[in-house]
Amino acid sequence: MRLPLFALAVASFGIGTTEFVIMGLLLDVARDFQVTVPQAGMLVSGYALGVTIGAPILAIATARLPRRLALLWLMGLFILGNLLCAVAPGYWLLMGARVVTSFCHGAFFGLGAVVAAEVVPPRQRAQAIALMFAGLTLANVLGVPFGTALGQALGWRATFWAVVGIGVAAGVALYLWLPRNLAVSTGGLLREVRALRQPQVLLAMLISALASASLFSVFTYIAPILEQVTGLEPAGVTWVLLIFGVGLTLGNLAGGRLADWRLMPTVIAIFIALTAVLVVFTQTSAALWPAVITIFIWGVLVFALVSPLQMRVVNEATQAPNLASTINQGAFNLGNATGAWVGGLAITYGISYADMPWVGAALALVALGFTLLSYSLERRTAVEVPA
């Protein structure tokens, strides 16, 4: 039971590393291709848009394949995309390679969540999803810093060659350890699309997008917050982000266990705590250790939501778990982009960096409202069905 989850975690580690490591290599890429830093930054946006657009396309394309075979094909696409990144002779070819790589992102995490839930007993499904996503959190703690250091020492292409190696290792692990009798979706495409129209499925995806928007409305601007409000040097920011990454990892594992106990009450409690922590951050950001402690707790809470929200979508879209789980990954990435945009808009209209956590708290509060709505509808349905 653990080996398939380990294989999925290795794959998610590689995917998470290639998504985020480009941020640490922007200056090197810009200098190599003689483009501006904002132009190099579009490699991040291109990847996010590729995830959002490519996730449903690949979910539909692989819907009739056995899940094991589909995951192997997606990992092959991941390896190809990073190989193209490593050898790209120009900026636009690198952009295209990033988009190719991003196409497998949402589909792999969506399908991988379904497979992780399938290979464990029902009472451990959210924990299994959390273990798969542990690879993504460890990518922020280990993959991105080491990948950035490797790129700075040997050139940014070396980082992508290293990610190719991780992808090959993940592909071998998936081939060896994924069960060969994994189910294949038997419903037609129209049936799966109709399943996505259920109110609870749509609410779950909306909550996922809002949770992600709450995070990125603040996290996108965490460096200027720490430098201009807390007074840290750039080197100190790196260490705080490492502590934040540790919080993400611990929160991810804790969220899986809590969701297997009581899913929706767990989500409600985390959103309440998350809102409170972001409000507190408006006060603690001015001092070093209070800021560090608050950021650590924020990291724990924000990623404790990931596996419960993914599990919620899988539970509600029983007739289309592959497609719904994959599109929910697109919802997370749409929330990333939306949160960064909302945060930027707030700064444009005069919100100070010290007050930015209020924006994240407001979005978390909206997500809490939709979560309470979803839970009340669920309880009302549970009462009406026996009657």
Q: Please indicate whether the domains covering 1-180 and 185-387 agree at the CATH topology level.
A: yes
Question: What local confidence, expressed as pLDDT, does residue 141 receive?
Answer: 82
Closest CA to 222 of 307, 334, 347: 347
Task: Please give the single-letter amino acid code of residue 105.
Answer: H
| CA distance linking residue 146 with residue 163, whole number of Å | 11
Q: How far apart are CA 36 and CA 90, in angstroms?
A: 14
3-class state of residue 171 by DSSP: helix
**Both structure tokens of 315:** 């539970």
Containing H/E element for 54?
A: helix 37-61
pLDDT the model gives residue 144:
80
How far apart are alpha carbons 269 and 264 in whole angstroms?
Answer: 9
Select from 162, 150, 112 the least CA-distant residue to 134: 112
Positive or negative torsion for Cα 88, 51, 108, 254: positive
Distance CA(55)–CA(108), nearest Å, equals 8
**Domain 185-387 falls under CATH 3.40.50.2300:** no
Taking a C-beta distance cutoff of 8 angstroms, is the pair 137, 146 a contact? no
Q: Which pLDDT score is estimated for 187?
A: 55
Cα–Cα distance, 263 to 242 (Å, whole number): 29
Residue 216 tokens, joined = 């990125």
Single-letter amino acid code for the residue at 258: L
Helical packing angle, 37-61 and 26-33, nearest 10° = 110
Segments in 178-198 forming alpha helices (H): 189-195
Domain ranges of the chain: 1-180, 185-387
Angle between helices 234-261 and 263-284 (to 10 degrees): 160
Element at 284 (helix H, strand E): helix 263-284
Q: What tokens does 16 get?
A: 């998470």
Length of the chain: 387
Q: What is the pLDDT along the chain (387 residues), one digit of tens a residue?
A: 689 999 999 999 999 999 878 877 877 888 899 988 777 877 877 887 888 888 778 877 877 788 889 999 999 999 999 999 999 999 999 999 999 898 888 889 888 888 888 888 888 888 888 888 888 888 878 888 888 888 888 999 999 999 999 999 999 999 999 988 776 655 556 666 676 778 898 999 999 999 999 998 898 788 788 888 999 887 788 788 889 889 999 999 999 989 888 899 999 999 999 999 999 999 999 999 999 999 999 999 999 999 999 889 888 877 777 778 888 888 888 888 788 888 888 888 889 999 999 999 999 999 999 999 999 988 887 665 554
- Supply the Cα-derived Rg of the chain in whole angstroms: 20
| Residue keyed to tokens 């209070």 | 290
3-class secondary-structure state, position 106 = helix
Q: Which CATH superfamily is domain 1-180 in?
A: MFS general substrate transporter like domains (1.20.1250.20)
3-state helix, strand, coil in the chain (%, to 5): 85, 0, 15
DSSP-based three-state secondary structure for 231? coil
